[in-house]
Amino acid sequence: MDKREVQLILKQLKINPNKKLGQNFLIDKNIVNKIISFSEISKNDVILEIGPGLGALTEELVKYVKKIYAIEIDYRLFSYLDEKFRNFDNIEIIYGNVLELELPFHTKVVSNIPYSITGPILEKIFFKNKPPIGVLMIEKNIADRIFFSENSKNYSRISVNTNAFVNPVSRSTISRMSFYPIPKISLSLIKLVPKTEINSFLMEKDSIAYFLRFIAGIMPYKNKNISNALDIYFKALTKRKYTKEEILMILQKNNYENKKLLNFTPNELIEISKVFYS
Ligand code: SAM
């Protein structure tokens, strides 16, 4: 699909791209091919596509895979796609909000996702035991945080959470000119693969939920010493669980130096959340 084709279909469907829904459609065939090659797809793959839009990526994926589930929130695009892929039996177009639906079984997520809900999408799909492989077009700023380098300003909540469940293996910066309309933000194509072994603390829903709350509560204070960050976090809870003295004692007992939070690796932070959970 090139720019003219996308513009023409949008005109026929009387659709003005909706900024809130992140409607920036792919118009560069080379990028579609790049996504396909990043995805290393095979005839055994069951793909989840979030936000298929006009189907620029979908129409290529459908040629190579066992099944695609494509979830689209915009009813006009959903109807267009439902008609477009009427004669294919390996695709199901689903109308709805990816964040609200129960997701069908899938082995890979391949998507140019709605950029404004990247965090919630990552949380729903990847922050769990045995996540799928992901090939995602996301905001470059978020990719920088996922592919953080040690002690950098990019180290943040999303760095810790993502790296707890998956290994970010490759990334590529993508020109904004590859989309219509041209997005305001820069974009990156990233590939995430499940960790061969995730920390045993992150096997259960309850402990995962605790870990995610814990990291969300402390990472805004990443430039503080860990005891201060933890103290702020526990103070803010309705029922305070640990005093500052207890925090210091627990850290010492478990041989954690009271250094800046950003100097702890994701795995150390998982272990620390486990200590405070129990
Ligand atoms: N995949 C298409 C492409 O590459 O040309 C469109 C990508 S566009 C960046 C994001 C798409 O996600 C839009 O079609 C938009 O309507 C859809 N979308 C936005 N929010 C959604 C949600 N919560 N659930 C499902 N689809 C959503």
Q: Is 77 in the pocket of ligand 1 (CB under 6 A)?
A: yes
**CA angle 92–96–98, rounded 5-degree value:** 90
pLDDT in tens, 106-147: 999 999 999 999 999 999 999 999 999 999 999 999 999 999
Which protein residue has the closest C-alpha to ligand 1 atom 12?
51
What pLDDT is recorded for position 211?
98
Q: Which domain holds residue 245?
A: 201-277
What pLDDT is recorded for position 47?
98
The per-residue b/e assignment along 195-228, b for 16 or more CB within 10 angstroms, e otherwise, is: beebbebbeeeebbebbbebbebbbebbebbbbb
* 250/193 same-domain check: no
The residue among 151, 177, 197 that closes a domain is 197
Q: Is 74 in the pocket of ligand 1 (CB under 6 A)?
A: yes
Q: Is 114 in the pocket of ligand 1 (CB under 6 A)?
A: yes
* 94/183 same-domain check: yes
* 92/171 same-domain check: yes
**Continuous segment of H or E residues that includes residue 146:** helix 140-146
Q: Where are the beta strands (DSSP E) in the chain?
A: 25-26, 46-50, 67-72, 91-95, 108-112, 133-139, 166-174, 179-180, 187-194
* 14/152 same-domain check: yes
CATH of the domain at 137: 3.40.50.150
Number of structural domains the chain divides into: 2
What pLDDT is recorded for position 161?
98
What pLDDT is recorded for position 243?
92
CB atoms within 10 A of CB 95: 15
What size, in residues, is the chain? 278
* 139/15 same-domain check: yes
The residue among 140, 174, 197 that closes a domain is 197
What would the DSSP string read from start to end of 91-114? EEEEES-TTTSPPPP-SEEEEE--
* 121/253 same-domain check: no
What pLDDT is recorded for position 149?
86
* 142/231 same-domain check: no
The residue among 171, 197, 223 that closes a domain is 197
CA 208 to chain centre: 16
- Tell me the pTM: 0.95
Q: Which segments of the chain have a pLDDT < 70?
A: none
* 76/112 same-domain check: yes
Which protein residue has the closest C-alpha to ligand 1 atom 11?
51
CA dihedral 191, 194, 196, 199 (to 10 degrees): 120
Do strands 133-139 and 25-26 pair parallel, antiparallel, or not at all (unpaired)? unpaired
* 129/236 same-domain check: no
What pLDDT is recorded for position 240?
75
* 132/178 same-domain check: yes
What pLDDT is recorded for position 151?
76
What pLDDT is recorded for position 24?
98
CB atoms within 10 A of CB 171: 18
Q: Which atom of ligand 1 is nearest to the CA of 26?
A: 5
* 19/117 same-domain check: yes
Q: Which atom of ligand 1 is nearest to the CA of 97?
A: 24
CB atoms within 10 A of CB 115: 19
Q: Which of 112, 138, 186 to mutate to test the pocket of ligand 1 (most atoms within 8 A of CB)?
A: 112
* 106/8 same-domain check: yes
Q: How far is CA 258 from CA 23, 141, 252, in A?
A: 45, 29, 8
CATH of the domain at 261: 1.10.8.100
